[in-house]
Structure 1
Amino acid sequence: MTVSLEQLRRCHIAVDLGAARTRVYVKGCGLVVDEPSVAAVNTRSGALIAVGTFAEQMTGRTPDYIRVVRPVSGGTVVDIEMAQRMLRHLLGEKLRRQLRRKPRLRAAACTPHDSDPLAQRAAVETLIGLGARRVELVDTLIAAAVGCGLPVEQPSATMIMMCGAAATQVAVLSLGSIVTAERMPVGGNAIDHAVLQYLRQQHQLMLPSQSVRPLQLALRGNGLNSRGPASTEIHGRDVVTGLARSVQVDTAAVRQAIHAPLTAVLDGLGKVLRDCPPDLVADLAERGIMMVGGSALLPGLDQMLRDATGMPVHIAERPDVCSVLGLGAMLEGRIHPMVLQPIRN
């Protein structure tokens, strides 16, 4: 772990700035913010018009003078000023007033595994702009493992797969630290793009970008598996005529389109297992893989991992909020590390 649990217990607020959603946990209050990482700006005046869900609904529907921006990309803050403005509005005046009463406000933030110093600095600057006097950085993989209840501090192997919007991270943890890890630049956005490309090329159908994820989740419930219906009806816009049209889509073909960009994830997973000590691999064969992150619910991903590795694959109870809940557990002091005392001769 990058910081000690004692330092984290002194923090008052935990922030998970993700490419898809921003989540804030306040000590003593719980999860207070869970909104899309989106902001809408008036380019004429520079005023912030909307943030969160309302701003996301504006995507693709705005006039020329309104720009919808995402200040976080791939787990990294790319626009510090806009990220600060977005966070201020998401927190609200009442909560910000409560935080300002703290004499020395401390904050904790999640950072992707092996993030470079510039990305870490951007996260720190974002929270300092909100009034934090000190910012502690925690690896997203460790926070997510704690949040989904894995025995991170025990001397046994646990494998976690963080399926984010822009990237997928896989790690093996033992004794509270990462033994080996890999980060692949393939996430939910790449899978969304694969579905859009398939429908455009094979059926000359265009879907709004906001409807791709609900479509995938609906297919998951309606049978995007080998035992489900052979086809399903999808509504969209014809590429040639521009008119609304419905087509019957083969679910097996959609499943294949989703699996195509995931080969890089399987390669990264294999590399982690090859670099892992044999004793820990034996533990993993029994415990399996725990999937967290918003993209963990994508159809067919868990079964694909079972077929490729032969290991059990589990999806966390609340996979999308595991990271921030793990940070919150550390802030509240609910995590007790295993203390290893030096042996005296």
Structure 2
Amino acid sequence: MTASLEQLRRCHFAVDLGAARTRVFIKGEGVVVDEPSAAAINTRTGALIAVGTLAEQMTGRTPGYIRVVRPVKGGTVIDIDMAQRMLRHLLGDKVRRALRRKPRLRAAACTPHDADPLAQRATVETLVGIGARRVELVDTLIAAAVGCGLPVERPEASMILVCGAATTQIAVLSLGSIVTAERVPVGGNAIDHSVLSYLRHHHELMLPSQSVRPLHVALRGGDLSMTGSGTTEIHGRDVATGLARSVEVDTVGLRSAISIPLTGVLDGIGKVLRDCPPDLVADLADRGIMMVGGSALMPGLDQMIREATGMPVQVAERPDIASVTGLGAMLDGQIEPMTLNPLSA
């Protein structure tokens, strides 16, 4: 974390710019924005047509002159101008006017672990462009751990797994800092792509790219647990004829399909544990791993990690908004650092 708790208490609002969703917390009001990080633009005029949920619904359904863009990739802003325009419309005129009345408007934002200076600068410039006079940056891992109630300020180990759309971040924390961490370029999108590829090659079926996540469609009424089997009816388009078709898909095949991208996540967990001091690893044997992030809600994903690592695994009560909730707790002054009394001479 690059900002102190005292600096964060002076902030007026906090932003979590994720690859899948953008969330905004305003001090005294709570989470006021929770929308997909998407914007639809008219390529002929450059006008912004829609943002958030409506823009996401347009994906794959637009004429040639309308393009749906995502200005955030892997927690990093890749198009500052579009991110600013998207944020302005998501906040709305009323909220932006209220924020502009604040003297020396301050903002806080999450950044991925080990984000390079250019990525951090892009986040800062995005918020400065919507009126912030000063921007404080907080590591996503710290914010998520605070948001799900882990005792990060205590001298004991806490392990967190932030399952995002583009990346998965793993860390062990103690005394309010990150002891060891790893960022794996595998997220919910990679798992969804594996399911889509499996259905295309084994059943010659194509699923819609939007509406609902392909994995959740495939597992409706089932899960990803490594025991048991079953079938699920999937509706899609035949690859050869282009006509609508339904097939019965075996959940065992789906488990094998997602096991390939999950290998990278398991390797990341193993690396973090190997780099962690033995005393902290002993703490984790009892406390286990806390999962947060939107992809943590995949049915049976926690069970697969539990069986692969042999450690207890829990999913946070609200894993999807844990990061912005943690930022909000810091802004409201709900987190107090551990006080260490200096030894007298």
TM more than 0.5: yes
Q: Distance in 1 between matches of 2:225 and 2:342?
A: 53
Give 1:336 deviation, angstroms: 0.9
Contact 1:217 1:297 in 2 (8 A): no
For residue 246 of structure 2, give the secondary structure of its aligned residue in structure 1: strand
Give 1:213 deviation, angstroms: 1.6
Partner residue of 2:292?
292
Q: Distance in 1 between matches of 2:331 and 2:223?
A: 41
Q: Distance in 1 between matches of 2:278 and 2:226?
A: 34
Give 1:258 deviation, angstroms: 1.3
Q: TM-score, normalised by structure 2?
A: 0.98
Contact 2:195 2:215 in 1 (8 A): no
**Structure 1 consecutive aligned stretches of length 4 or more whose deviation exceeds 4 Å:** 226-229
What amino acid does structure 1 have at the position aligned with 2:194? A
For residue 83 of structure 1, give the secondary structure of its aligned residue in structure 2: helix
Partner residue of 1:335?
335
Deviations 1:173-195 (A, max 9, x none): 00000000000000001001000
Q: Distance in 1 between matches of 2:35 and 2:218?
A: 21
TM alignment of 1:196-275, pairs within 5 A = 196-211=196-211, 213=213, 215-216=215-216, 219=219, 221-226=221-226, 230-275=230-275
Contact 2:224 2:301 in 1 (8 A): no
Contact 1:255 1:300 in 2 (8 A): no
Partner residue of 1:8?
8
Unpaired runs of 5+ in structure 2?
Answer: none
Partner residue of 2:122?
122
For residue 144 of structure 2, give the secondary structure of its aligned residue in structure 1: helix
Instruction: Assess, with a 3 A threshold, how the Cα gap between structure 1 residues 289 and 14 changes in structure 2: closer, same or farther.
Output: same
Q: Distance in 2 between matches of 1:125 and 1:223?
A: 42
Q: Distance in 2 between matches of 1:339 and 1:301?
A: 38
Partner residue of 2:47?
47
For residue 219 of structure 2, give the secondary structure of its aligned residue in structure 1: helix
Give 1:300 deviation, angstroms: 3.0
For residue 336 of structure 1, give the secondary structure of its aligned residue in structure 2: coil
Q: Does 2:77 correspond to 1:101? A: no
For residue 103 of structure 2, give the secondary structure of its aligned residue in structure 1: coil
Deviations 1:220-248 (A, max 9, x none): 64344355551110000000000000000
Give 1:46 deviation, angstroms: 0.6
Partner residue of 1:157?
157
Partner residue of 1:35?
35
For residue 103 of structure 1, give the secondary structure of its aligned residue in structure 2: coil
Q: Distance in 2 between matches of 1:292 and 1:217?
A: 21
What amino acid does structure 1 have at the position aligned with 2:20? A
Contact 2:225 2:301 in 1 (8 A): no
**Identity %, equivalent residues:** 79
What amino acid does structure 2 have at the position aligned with 1:239? V
Contact 2:71 2:80 in 1 (8 A): yes
What amino acid does structure 2 have at the position aligned with 1:55? A
Instruction: Assess, with a 3 A threshold, how the Cα gap between structure 1 residues 121 and 223 changes in structure 2: closer, same or farther.
Output: closer
Contact 2:16 2:109 in 1 (8 A): yes
Q: Distance in 2 between matches of 1:20 and 1:59?
A: 13
Q: CA RMSD in A?
A: 1.2
Q: Distance in 1 between matches of 2:151 and 2:218?
A: 33
Contact 1:172 1:181 in 2 (8 A): yes
Contact 1:217 1:298 in 2 (8 A): no
For residue 210 of structure 1, give the secondary structure of its aligned residue in structure 2: coil
Contact 2:229 2:252 in 1 (8 A): no
Q: Distance in 2 between matches of 1:197 and 1:309?
A: 27
Partner residue of 2:183?
183
Partner residue of 1:301?
301
Contact 1:195 1:212 in 2 (8 A): no
Give 1:217 deviation, angstroms: 6.2
Q: Distance in 2 between matches of 1:311 and 1:17?
A: 31
Contact 1:220 1:299 in 2 (8 A): no
